[in-house]
Structure 1
């Protein structure tokens, strides 16, 4: 992860935590999706984004999201350095294997192999 990507990940996670504390679940989740795209190729950031998505799912009482994140957490631990579907936003509303288009502002920050 390059410095700009790391800074963007840290900023997205910080904003997501703030939105979480303010009980703005939708905003928190959108920021976590952004963080997920930025951090998914590194174990700790990848796991961190899924952990917080799980927390938001629990707060929203969204059983599908909770179940999805409980499955994604171990996968993030095991697969982050091996293979990830680039651009995947990480929520349970998308296939965990589906690559997705990366927003232009994020693409500029990322080291894409």
Structure 2
């Protein structure tokens, strides 16, 4: 099975940033990296939603955040799915609906 790349407009460009606070590397999009640089605080928003305080560049890489890694993988392989807007949630019937069904 081959995976075709996204068209250029749907491509996700990320950089793995080592966190100074936790021993984890997070994926940060180019847009969020630019926003963090413009802010001047060295804090970036990762694709998993975490706020990352960047470690010094001499810090060795750590293990990658599982949520970030999963998101990046999903964006690369599930190209037909809109991951930013998954749509309405379908919930199971509530207790009252089940009681109504049991009554007949």
The alignment's TM-score, normalised by the length of structure 1, stands at 0.29
The alignment's TM-score, normalised by the length of structure 2, stands at 0.30
Give the structure with the larger strand fraction. 2
Flag the structure with larger Rg.
Answer: 2
Q: Which has the higher contact order (CA 8 A, sep 6+)?
A: 1
